[in-house]
C-alpha cells in the first residue's frame, strides 16, 4: 500500500465556530466522544437505544444483534415496522403534514412542491394501484426513472407494500437493465416515457422495450409508465399502464404492510472487481435507522433546513439521502432533475439562492468541473449569487483533493460552512467516516473520523492493525445496522468479497486503501481492487473489458484507470483486434465505434476516454496481462520497472503512444 506523505502532513485544521457548536445536534467533540464511548461500553445497548428512539415499530424488537450466522448478521430481527409509514405517516402525526417535503426543480426551472400530506396521498394511491394489479410483499420491482417526485413515490409505494425495489440508473443501457431485471427476478417495471436533462429528452421506455427484446424478461407482468414528456412510445396493451391510470380512482389511504426488520427493502447493483455487477441487498429497519440518524448527525439537520442532495436516485446516495433519509426525519428537500451546467454553469448556485438551500451535498467531480466553469465564465461564478443561506456543505463519492476542498469551503461555503466529506459505499448503506459539522476539526482531503458505533480500522493483509501513518486496508471490525446483508442470489460471493478468511471472516473489507495520520484522521487512498471511480461512479475494469471483447472485431482487451483532473479517474482501454493493427486514421474510426459499443453495453459513463490498439498486450510468460504496466503507459510515463518476466516487452513502446 502506498503512503502518500503529503496528505498526512496537512496542517490546516478548520474548527467549527462556537455559534455552530452551540446549536448542533452533536455539539462538540465531547458529545461525539460520549456517543463513541457509549458504543464501546455497550455496543448492543447503544444501537437498541437509538433504534427505539428513532423508529416507530409496529412490533418492538427484543433481540438487537444476531451474530450466530456471521457474516450474515441480523439486526432487530424479531421486530416489525414499515419504512414508508416511518417516512410519511409519522410526519402526518407529528405536525409536518403541511410542511413541504419535496421542492421539485425541473430541468427547465419549473418548480413543483409537495407537502407531506400530499406525498402520503400520492404514495397511498399508487401503492393501492399496484396492489390492485396483484403485486405484494416479497415481489421485486425494477424502477428505471428520471429524477422526479414520481421516482420517490414509486420507491416509497414499493416499501409500503413490502415489494423489494431495484432502481436502475436512467443512464444505464438496455443491456444493463435487462441483466438486472433477470438477476433480481422482477415482475414489475416502473419507468417513464422519457427523461429530460440539459434541455434534451432521452428515451427510457424504449430502453425497456429493447431490454425485453433481448429476452429473459418474461416474468415481468406490467410496465408502469410515468408520463414525463408525452413523447411517443410503443405500447403493449394489457401489459403497459400509465402511472396516472394506475392511481386513478384509488384511495389515498393504503394500509402499510408491516415487515420483519430484515425484510429486503431494496437491491442495488454496483460494480465489483470480477464479473457482473453485484446486487447489494439491504434490510428495512437497520437501513432506515442509519439513514435517519446520519441525516441528523452528519448534516446537523433541523426542522427549518432546506436540504439538497444532487445525486440521482439510481445511486445509493439518492436512496439513502433523497428517497429515505430526508423523509424519515421530516426534512424539506430539493429534488433536481437537471444537470449542473444547464442552462449555464451557475445552475447549482442559482438553485441554492432560489430556494434558500441550507444544506448542500454533492460530488467532487461536480465541484471540480464547476471550478473550471467558474474560471471560464465569470458571469456564473458563485460569487455572483447569494449563497448566504448555506450552513453545511457535503461531499461524497470519491476523494476530494485539498485544492477542490478549499475552493468549495471558501467559494460555496463562504468560509463559514463546515465541509462534511463523507466516506461510505453502496454496501454500507449510509455514512461511515465523516466529520460531524458541530464537532470535528476539518482537514482538507480527509474524511476525518468514524461515526459513533462504526468500528473502522486499517489493517495489513493478515488483519493486524497497522501503525498510524502506515497505509493498509480499510475495514470495519464490528457489524452495523445499515450494512449489506448479502449479494442477491449469491451468498458465497458476499462472503468472499467482504468477509475474506484471511481477515478472520468477521471483519468487513471495504475494498479501499486508507491511511491514518497522528490525529487518527482517515485519508482514503482509493480502491485496492479492479474497481475504477469515474466521476464518483463505480465501474469494474472487468465489466468494461467484457463489453469490449463482446464486439465482433475485438480479440482481447485490457482496461485500466488513469488519474484525471476532472473525473478523478478515466477509463483507458488497450485493445487487440482480430484483424491487423489499424493505422491512425482507421484507429480513430474503430475507437469511436468501440466507445459507442461500450455505451450500448453498459452506459455512457463507461465509455473509455482513450483506446489504444496493439499487436498484443503485455503478458507474463504464464499469460497474465500486466495491468500494472499498462497503468504506467496509460499515464504517458515510461516504464522503469523490470520487464524481464514479460513475454513481449517491446509491446510497451507500441502501447505507449496515444492516438
Ligand atoms: C457513496 C458511494 C464507493 C466507493 C468507495 C470509495 C469511494 C466514496 C468517498 C470515497 C474517498 C469519500 N458509494 N468513495 N466516498 N472515497 N472519500 N468521501 O459513493 O458504492 O458508489 O462507491 O467510492 O472508493 O469504496 S459507491
Output the pLDDT for position 643: 82
- Ligand 1 binding pocket mutation candidate from 279, 425, 447 (most atoms within 8 A of CB): 425
Q: Evaluate if residue 276 carries a pLDDT over 90.
A: no
Output the pLDDT for position 4: 53
Output the pLDDT for position 648: 85
Can you give the three-state secondary structure of 350-385, one letter per residue? HHHHHHCCCEEEECHHHHHHHHHHHHHCHHHCHHHC
Output the pLDDT for position 649: 85
| CA pair distance 534, 398, nearest whole angstrom | 9
Give me the mean pLDDT over the 256-284 stretch.
95
The closest of 28, 47, 217, 254 to 136, measured between CA atoms, is: 254
Q: Evaluate if residue 33 carries a pLDDT over 90.
A: yes
Output the pLDDT for position 2: 37
Q: Evaluate if residue 180 carries a pLDDT over 70.
A: yes
Strand 531-534 versus strand 65-66 pairing type? unpaired
Output the pLDDT for position 439: 98
Residue 76 is classified by DSSP as S
Ligand 1 center–CA 426 separation, angstroms: 8
Strand 392-396 versus strand 359-362 pairing type? parallel
Ligand 1 center–CA 640 separation, angstroms: 31
- Burial status of residue 252 (CB atoms within 10 A of its CB: 0-12, 13-18, 19 or more): middle
Cell numbers 462556537: residue: 18
Do residues 311 and 318 lie in contact, with contact meaning Cβ atoms separated by under 8 Å? yes
Tell me which of 657 and 535 has the higher pLDDT.
Answer: 535
Output the pLDDT for position 639: 84
Output the pLDDT for position 11: 82
Output the pLDDT for position 250: 98
Output the pLDDT for position 1: 32
The closest of 312, 407, 311 to 368, measured between CA atoms, is: 407
User: For 551-607, how does the pLDDT look when each residue is reduced to its tens digit (9 = 90+)?
Assistant: 999 999 999 999 999 999 999 999 999 999 999 999 999 999 999 999 999 999 999
Give me the mean pLDDT over the 604-632 stretch.
91
Ligand 1 center–CA 642 separation, angstroms: 33
- Ligand 1 binding pocket mutation candidate from 533, 539, 606 (most atoms within 8 A of CB): 533
- Ligand 1 binding pocket mutation candidate from 278, 424, 454 (most atoms within 8 A of CB): 424
My answer on whether omega of the bond before 403 falls inside 30° of 0, hence cis, is: no
For ligand 1, atom 12, the nearest C-alpha belongs to 423
- Ligand 1 binding pocket mutation candidate from 290, 538, 539, 561 (most atoms within 8 A of CB): 538
Give me the mean pLDDT over the 142-170 stretch.
98
- C-alpha 193: how far from chain center: 24
| CA pair distance 405, 420, nearest whole angstrom | 10
Tell me which of 639 and 483 has the higher pLDDT.
Answer: 483
- Ligand 1 binding pocket mutation candidate from 397, 451, 508 (most atoms within 8 A of CB): 397
Ligand 1 center–CA 532 separation, angstroms: 11
Ligand 1 center–CA 650 separation, angstroms: 37
Residue 172 is classified by DSSP as S
Q: Which residues pair with 550 in a beta bridge?
A: none
Output the pLDDT for position 642: 80
Question: For all residues of the chain together, what is the average pLDDT?
Answer: 95
Share of the chain above pLDDT 70, in %: 99
For ligand 1, atom 19, the nearest C-alpha belongs to 397
Q: Which three cell numbers stand for residue 220?
A: 415481468
Output the pLDDT for position 579: 94
Ligand 1 center–CA 284 separation, angstroms: 22
Q: Which three cell numbers stand for residue 193?
A: 416515457
For ligand 1, atom 13, the nearest C-alpha belongs to 425
Q: Which three cell numbers stand for residue 44?
A: 448492543
Ligand 1 center–CA 241 separation, angstroms: 37
Ligand 1 center–CA 510 separation, angstroms: 10
| CA pair distance 653, 648, nearest whole angstrom | 11
579 C-beta neighbours (distance < 10 Å), count: 9
Output the pLDDT for position 644: 78
Ligand 1 center–CA 430 separation, angstroms: 11
Output the pLDDT for position 274: 77
Which atom of ligand 1 lies at the shortest distance from residue 511's CA? 25
Which atom of ligand 1 lies at the shortest distance from residue 538's CA? 21
Output the pLDDT for position 608: 97
The closest of 369, 321, 322, 318 to 346, measured between CA atoms, is: 369
- Burial status of residue 204 (CB atoms within 10 A of its CB: 0-12, 13-18, 19 or more): buried
Q: Evaluate if residue 5 carries a pLDDT over 60.
A: no
For ligand 1, atom 3, the nearest C-alpha belongs to 425
Output the pLDDT for position 7: 63
User: For 85-137, how does the pLDDT look when each residue is reduced to its tens digit (9 = 90+)?
Assistant: 999 999 999 999 999 999 999 999 999 999 999 999 999 999 999 999 999 99
Ligand 1 center–CA 242 separation, angstroms: 36
> Of 63-67, 257-261, 324-328, 541-545, which gets the smallest average pLDDT?
541-545
Strand 306-309 versus strand 359-362 pairing type? parallel
User: For 504-526, how does the pLDDT look when each residue is reduced to its tens digit (9 = 90+)?
Assistant: 999 999 999 999 999 999 999 98
The closest of 520, 438, 459, 392 to 25, measured between CA atoms, is: 438
Cell numbers 450552513: residue: 391
Ligand 1 center–CA 423 separation, angstroms: 6
Cα dihedral angle (557, 561, 564, 567), rounded to 10 degrees?
90
pTM attached to this predicted model: 0.94
| CA pair distance 254, 232, nearest whole angstrom | 32
Pocket of ligand 1 (CB under 6 A): 270, 316-317, 396-399, 421-426, 447, 510-512, 524, 526-527, 533, 536, 538
User: For 384-412, how does the pLDDT look when each residue is reduced to its tens digit (9 = 90+)?
Assistant: 999 999 999 999 999 999 999 999 999 99
User: For 529-562, how does the pLDDT look when each residue is reduced to its tens digit (9 = 90+)?
Assistant: 889 999 989 999 999 999 999 999 999 999 999 9
Do residues 137 and 161 lie in contact, with contact meaning Cβ atoms separated by under 8 Å? yes
Which atom of ligand 1 lies at the shortest distance from residue 315's CA? 21
Amino acid at each position: 500500500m502506498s503512503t502518500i506523505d503529503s496528505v498526512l502532513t496537512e496542517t490546516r485544521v478548520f474548527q467549527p465556530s462556537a455559534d455552530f457548536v452551540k446549536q448542533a445536534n452533536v455539539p462538540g467533540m465531547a458529545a461525539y466522544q460520549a456517543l463513541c464511548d457509549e458504543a464501546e461500553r455497550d455496543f448492543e445497548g447503544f444501537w437498541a437505544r437509538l433504534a427505539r428512539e428513532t423508529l416507530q415499530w409496529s412490533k418492538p424488537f427484543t433481540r438487537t444483534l444476531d451474530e450466530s450466522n456471521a457474516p450474515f448478521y441480523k439486526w432487530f430481527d424479531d421486530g416489525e415496522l414499515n419504512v414508508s409509514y416511518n417516512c410519511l405517516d409519522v410526519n402526518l402525526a407529528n405536525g409536518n403534514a403541511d410542511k413541504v417535503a419535496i421542492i421539485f426543480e425541473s430541468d427547465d426551472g419549473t418548480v413543483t412542491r409537495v407537502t407531506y400530506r400530499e406525498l402520503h396521498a400520492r404514495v397511498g394511491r399508487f401503492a393501492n394501484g399496484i396492489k390492485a394489479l396483484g403485486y405484494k410483499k416479497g415481489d421485486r420491482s425494477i424502477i428505471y426513472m428520471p429524477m422526479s417526485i414520481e421516482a420517490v413515490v414509486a420507491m416509497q409505494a414499493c416499501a409500503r407494500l413490502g415489494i423489494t425495489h431495484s432502481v436502475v440508473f436512467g443512464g444505464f443501457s438496455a443491456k444493463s437493465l435487462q441483466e438486472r431485471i433477470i438477476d433480481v427476478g422482477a415482475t414489475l417495471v416502473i419507468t417513464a416515457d422519457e427523461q429530460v436533462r440539459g434541455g434534451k429528452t432521452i428515451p427510457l421506455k424504449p430502453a425497456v422495450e429493447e431490454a425485453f427484446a433481448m429476452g429473459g424478461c418474461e416474468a415481468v407482468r406490467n410496465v408502469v409508465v410515468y408520463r414525463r414528456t408525452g413523447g411517443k412510445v410503443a405500447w403493449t396493451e394489457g401489459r403497459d399502464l400509465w402511472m396516472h391510470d394506475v392511481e386513478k380512482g384509488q384511495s389515498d389511504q393504503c394500509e402499510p404492510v408491516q415487515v420483519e426488520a430484515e425484510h429486503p427493502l431494496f437491491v442495488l447493483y454496483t460494480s465489483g472487481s470480477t464479473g457482473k455487477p453485484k446486487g447489494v441487498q439491504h434490510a428495512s429497519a437497520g437501513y432506515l435507522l442509519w439513514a435517519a440518524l446520519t441525516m441528523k448527525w452528519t448534516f446537523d439537520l433541523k426542522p427549518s433546513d432546506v436540504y439538497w442532495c444532487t445525486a440521482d436516485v439510481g445511486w445509493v446516495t439518492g436512496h439513502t439521502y433523497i428517497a429515505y433519509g430526508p423523509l424519515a426525519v421530516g426534512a424539506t428537500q430539493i429534488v433536481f432533475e437537471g444537470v449542473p451546467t444547464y442552462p449555464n454553469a451557475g445552475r447549482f448556485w442559482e438553485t441554492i439562492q432560489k430556494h434558500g438551500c441550507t444544506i448542500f451535498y454533492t460530488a467532487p467531480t461536480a465541484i471540480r468541473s464547476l471550478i473550471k466553469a467558474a474560471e471560464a465564465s465569470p458571469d456564473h461564478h458563485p460569487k455572483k449569487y447569494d449563497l448566504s443561506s448555506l450552513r453545511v456543505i457535503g461531499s461524497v463519492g470519491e476523494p476530494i483533493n485539498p485544492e477542490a476542498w478549499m475552493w468549495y469551503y471558501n467559494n460555496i461555503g463562504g468560509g463559514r460552512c463546515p465541509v462534511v466529506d463523507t466516506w461510505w459505499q453502496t454496501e454500507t448503506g449510509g455514512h461511515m467516516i465523516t466529520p460531524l459539522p458541530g464537532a470535528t476539526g476539518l482537514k482538507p482531503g480527509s474524511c476525518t473520523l468514524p461515526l459513533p458505533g462504526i468500528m473502522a480500522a486499517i489493517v495489513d493483509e493478515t488483519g493486524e492493525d497497522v501503525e498510524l501513518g502506515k497505509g493498509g486496508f480499510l475495514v470495519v471490525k464490528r457489524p452495523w445496522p445499515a450494512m449489506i446483508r448479502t449479494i442477491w442470489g449469491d451468498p458465497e460471493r458476499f462472503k468472499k468479497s467482504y468477509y475474506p478468511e484471511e481477515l478472520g471472516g468477521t471483519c468487513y473489507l471495504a475494498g479501499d486503501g486508507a491511511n491514518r495520520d497522528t490525529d487518527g484522521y482517515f485519508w482514503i487512498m482509493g480502491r485496492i481492487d479492479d474497481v475504477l471511480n469515474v466521476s464518483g461512479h463505480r465501474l469494474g475494469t472487468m465489466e468494461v473489458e467484457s463489453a469490449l471483447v463482446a464486439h465482433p472485431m475485438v480479440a482481447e482487451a485490457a482496461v485500466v484507470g488513469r488519474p484525471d483532473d476532472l473525473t478523478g479517474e478515466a477509463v483507458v482501454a488497450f485493445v487487440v483486434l482480430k484483424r491487423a493493427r489499424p493505422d491512425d486514421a482507421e484507429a480513430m474510426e474503430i475507437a469511436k465505434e468501440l466507445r459507442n459499443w461500450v455505451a450500448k453495453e453498459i452506459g455512457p459513463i463507461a465509455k473509455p476516454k482513450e483506446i489504444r490498439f496493439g499487436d498484443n498486450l503485455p503478458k507474463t510468460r504464464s499469460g497474465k496481462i500486466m495491468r500494472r504496466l499498462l497503468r504506467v503507459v496509460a499515464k504517458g510515463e515510461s516504464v522503469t520497472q523490470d520487464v524481464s518476466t514479460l513475454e513481449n516487452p517491446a509491446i510497451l513502446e507500441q502501447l505507449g503512444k496515444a492516438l
